[in-house]
């Protein structure tokens, strides 16, 4: 799978909410997205190291239009999924600062609410071609 033609979704590999989100996307996206943990070498290579350290609490979407963080990354990802997810475009009418405040609130409590894994998520054999280090 070419990284240039597929958006890459970077996620916190230890966060259970993030891992469940990746599972959710995998079930609804047969082939578009590639995935990489923010703690991995692909993130080190493709993202600015200051961004990774500052935004380890953020999901990061890298696509042909650039780097998207927080609520924008979530909405753009959902919009690209198959099925009825195009409706999320309506949430772009909410100012990004307000969307990101909600995102930050959830992100700051995600380990307490959903848990934290001791190790980064390991893809199943059938998922391996979609995961980057």
Question: pLDDT tens digits, residue range 21-58?
Answer: 998 999 898 788 999 988 888 988 888 876 665 556 77
Is there a domain that residue 48 lies in? Answer: yes
Is there a domain that residue 3 lies in? Answer: no
Q: Which residues contact 4 (CB under 8 A, 6 or more apart)?
A: none
What total number of domains does the chain contain? 1
Is there a domain that residue 61 lies in? Answer: yes
Containing structural domain, residue 63: 8-130
Question: Over pLDDT 70: what percentage of the chain?
Answer: 89
**Secondary structure (3-state) at 35:** strand
10 with 38: CB under 8 angstroms? yes
Could you tell me the pTM of the whole model? 0.85
């Amino acid at each position: 799978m070419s990284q240039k033609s597929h958006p890459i979704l970077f996620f916190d590999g230890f966060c259970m909410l993030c891992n469940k989100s990746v599972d959710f996307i995998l079930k609804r996206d047969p082939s578009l997205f590639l995935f990489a943990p923010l703690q991995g070498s692909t993130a080190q290579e493709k993202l600015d190291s200051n961004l990774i350290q500052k935004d380890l609490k953020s999901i990061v979407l890298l696509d042909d239009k650039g780097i998207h963080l927080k609520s924008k990354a979530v909405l753009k990802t959902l919009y690209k999924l198959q099925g009825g997810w195009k409706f999320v475009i309506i949430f772009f009418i909410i100012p990004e600062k307000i969307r990101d405040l909600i995102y930050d609130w959830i992100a700051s409590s995600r380990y307490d609410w959903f848990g934290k894994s001791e190790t980064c998520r390991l893809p199943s054999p059938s998922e391996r071609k979609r995961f980057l280090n």
